[in-house]
A and B are shown apart, each in its own frame.
Chain A
Amino acid sequence: MKLTRNILTCIASLIVFNSCESKDSITQKTEEKILVLGNGAEPAGLDPQMVEGVIESNVIRGLFEGLCMDHPTDPNQHSPGAAASWSSNANSTEWTFKLHQDGKWSDGVPLTSHDFVFAYNRILSPEFGAKYAWMLYFIEGAEDYNRNKKHKFLLEHLSIWDQIKDENYSGDSDLDSAKHLRSFFSKLSDEEKRYDNDAKGLNKLTLEQLKAIKENPSLFTWSEGISTGDQTQIIDTYIKHSGKDLWSMANVGVKAVDDYTLHISLKAPTPYIPDITKHYTWYPVPKHIITKLKNPFKEDHTWTEPGNLVSNGPFQLKEWKFNDYIELETNSNYWDTDNVKLNGIKFLPIGNAYTEARMFFDNQLHSTYTLAPELIDYSIEKNKKMVRQETYLGTNFLRLNNKLPEFEDHNLRKALAYSVDSQSIIDHVLKGGQQAATGIVPPMGAYQPSTQYRFDPELAKEYFAKTKFADDPKSLKLVMVTTDKETAKVLAETVQDMWKNHLGINVEISQSDWKSYLVKVSKLDYGVATGGWIGDYPDPTTFLDMWKAGAGSNRTGWESAEYEALLAKAEMTSDPAARMKILQEAEAMFLADYPIIPIYWYTSNYLHHESVKGWNTHIMKSQPYKYMSLEN
């Protein structure tokens, strides 16, 4: 009934209030100093600790502010954000951030270091389940806390630790404890109790369950070699600390020294931490608001609704018309509000790139989210000054299924790699001024990109001649999986054609929707897969960590202990130049196996109105709105 009433009210308001609004011209918006942006899709929420995408980030960057901020012009410098100043020890492991004394939330409540501690506790909390929690793993103890390694905090000091540290305390995810949970724990049979305990693991058991195990140790499957005495000692320790807050046990390296001083201890030297603090996962959240929620550590989106959302950035949420637009207005409580030149920002969730371009040329937008490849030539012809093509922190590549028997022969991988003509793909398919990729890490800062990959059909043929398919190229059966995105499809067809021309092989293309594609690739149910990766922060590790054995984004079946050792070594190196060198070594080691075929380094192509000032190129296309202004 409520639904019906809502619908009726909405229809009525559509008819009545729609009657007199003038054309939304960009000239008028420029005069009002309201920036109108195309933003791809409706954001899946505005809680900076819950979201995961560029679309959400675009709005959240206006609402919230991290400790450091991008410099208006120089990408190698940082400006004060929520922190007025910061300093670190010589090897960049201990950082102290001094917050603005007059820093406030948009509701006027002071912004203190406790908000940051609370925020980092919340996003890392194992019960919160934040997707992007690993962005804070730079912090000492953060990963152990996030992964609920309660046993480590509790048992590490015991003499038996060395003996028991490899036990599984987090439960066996293969066991489905839900199967038995039709009644209360006390009513279960012993067999069912043990099954439930094993599935959950000691770390997640309640006091009742722990006590039951103490009385009857066979209610938990102990591995051999743990004596009855040790079992009692372990259970006693768990019982003693039961109900205690995991955060306080974990001793994560985030401390509020006083109200305006935040101290962060990192697990390894990280000179680029100011860059990391610009990522939304590092933003503060209003402790005074969130602690009032029913459960602050559960996903709850009531606090981000218009009227409720309190933020610390240059703007605050004015209106959110679902699926229609999100509008921000200046936050008068922002510490630097005098220097904010815009009066507001309006985000339109335009999913159709052609519609977006039409709206731009109809003077409804200041800047588009994207520009379809087919429209690039047309737009340049129409108005060259309005077309932006900027280097973007991302790589497009083909994954090879390294577990496939055919790919055991590296000559085949090399033959495939050297017969892909990236430049021709860029010139004829993408047309967006991309750069042919010669390695996985795109050019950034002081990092020297690899030069291993190139187009060399003769070399490709040489390698192919060494494979067992040389005599009968048609006997090689490969499936190339791709998404249903038009550009991915055309790219796959182009590569298919190149391999046919240069090597004589036939590759079958299998297209599926985005999520089915992800499932296939994750299960290694493919031969070759189109793919891409956008960096989360401007450091090579964002492109190198993903090839670790356990990383969910690996999806090639490639692994190497030496590679991971090199990454670990880089992590412990505080000298930036030496560190970059080790990372270059790691990349070279990875590429030497030809587990992937890099195709191009991204550019972001979009349409941009000349009336927007202070919008500088940005490698992650996350230009701070704070410095922007509008002039007709």
Chain B
Amino acid sequence: MFKIILSRLAQGLLVLIFLYTVTFFLARWMPFDMFTSDKSLDAQALQVKKAEFDLDKTYWEQYKISINKLFQGDLRDSGMMKQPVSKIIAHSFPVSFVLGSAGMLIAIIIGIPAGIIAALRKNSMIDYSTMLIALVGISVPAFVLGPLLAKGLGANVSFLKVAGWGGSFDWVLPSITLGLATAAYLARITRAGMLDILSQDYIRTAKAKGVSEQNIIIKHALKGGLIPSIAYIGPAFAMLITGSFIVESIFQCPGMGKHFINATKNGDIFLLQGIVLFFGCLIVLVNLLADILLVALNPRLR
């Protein structure tokens, strides 16, 4: 077990170095930079500004400086927001984390039971209707669902708002919007996983031995049937907590999603590098957790 974790960590580190390097150079090959503006800067002022960000140096020197600062824990300043990148992440990640975690919780609470029930009642009305709803859930994009929830619930339920941040229940609607699509996927994956297990020989043997259905599901089927779902939850969770530009913009939440999009659109290279690296760390970490969980569930992986 310890060996697996160690090797995964080493792999993760390699991935992060690769990710950072690729982002670093791609960001500098964009056709525009953070100084491109409608009211263009004159040549001299541009020189001054570029020097402030070391952009007057060669790519290789910039890379060395960046790596050096990175090891000192300095992600540098955002060119557009005029704030340290680490501060921007520290302020916006908690919001995305709360929204994403609540969204994931909603997805698990809805998706997994729905998938199990559908599998147990295979080809029945319950199965068809659950899967139909799941299909709708996957197909309806957040920019449709979000405003519908805002108009339907936010405007009418007293403790909810159509958008905004700071109140006790402001996480509810964006989390539902985030969670429902994931719930739908999860239901379908759980159903498939369960069906696969339920047709296995050892389940049939258990049935033949007269084990009650409840016991079969809880003691024998779930453990194996949920493996695909857990493998999916890991990356899905990472996706949810890194923030969604669309959901944050619909509900006006100060999360991380918008920084990623804006950094790219504005050529804000330091913000972009910082956020990509942070996302990378998160994904590596969450995947590691999912791997550990899978190993615990599946003896064959040990």
Contacts and interface: CB of A to CB of B under 8 A. Distances in A.
B254 interface: yes
Contact of B168 (A10, A11, A21, A50): A21
A614 interface: no
A513 B94 contact: no
B85 to A, nearest CB: 10
Contact of A52 (B39, B83, B89): B39
B166 interface: yes
A518 B38 contact: yes
Contacts of B57: 178
A518 B47 contact: no
B94 A11 contact: yes
Interface string A142-177: 000001100000000000000000000010010000
A134 B249 CA distance: 35
Nearest to A25: B161
Interface in B66-85: 73, 80-83
B90 A170 contact: no
Contacts, number: 172
Interface stretch (B122-130, B151-159, B205-213): B151-159
A352 B250 contact: yes
B162 A515 contact: no
A6 interface: yes
Contacts of B52: 129, 298-299
B260 to A, nearest CB: 13
B86 A3 contact: yes
Interface in A1-56: 1-3, 6-7, 10-11, 14-15, 18-24, 42, 44-45, 50, 52
B37 A323 contact: no
B31 interface: yes
Interface string A349-363: 011101100110110
B82 A44 contact: yes
Nearest to A132: B39
Nearest to B268: A44
B196 interface: no
Contacts of B258: 323, 351
B199 interface: no
A321 B254 contact: yes
B93 to A, nearest CB: 6
Contact of B161 (A131, A324, A362, A515): A362
B162 A513 contact: no
Interface string A278-314: 0000000000000000000011010000000000000
A419 interface: no
Interface string A486-522: 0000000000000000000000000001111011001
Interface in A542-592: 552-553
B250 A355 contact: yes
Given A24-B164, A178-B56, 4 more contacts: A6-B87, A147-B42, A147-B44, A324-B254
The 8 nearest A-B residue pairs measured at CB: A552-B40, A129-B48, A323-B254, A6-B90, A515-B32, A10-B94, A129-B45, A45-B82
Interface of B: 31-32, 36-49, 52, 56-58, 61, 73, 80-83, 86-95, 97-98, 147, 150-151, 154-155, 158-159, 161-168, 249-252, 254, 258, 265-267
Interface of A: 1-3, 6-7, 10-11, 14-15, 18-24, 42, 44-45, 50, 52, 126-134, 147-148, 170, 173, 178-179, 298-299, 301, 321-325, 348, 350-352, 354-355, 358-359, 361-362, 364, 513-516, 518-519, 522, 552-553
18 contacts: A2-B73, A14-B98, A18-B167, A20-B168, A129-B46, A147-B42, A299-B52, A301-B82, A351-B249, A359-B164, A361-B162, A362-B155, A362-B162, A515-B267, A518-B32, A519-B36, A552-B39, A553-B40
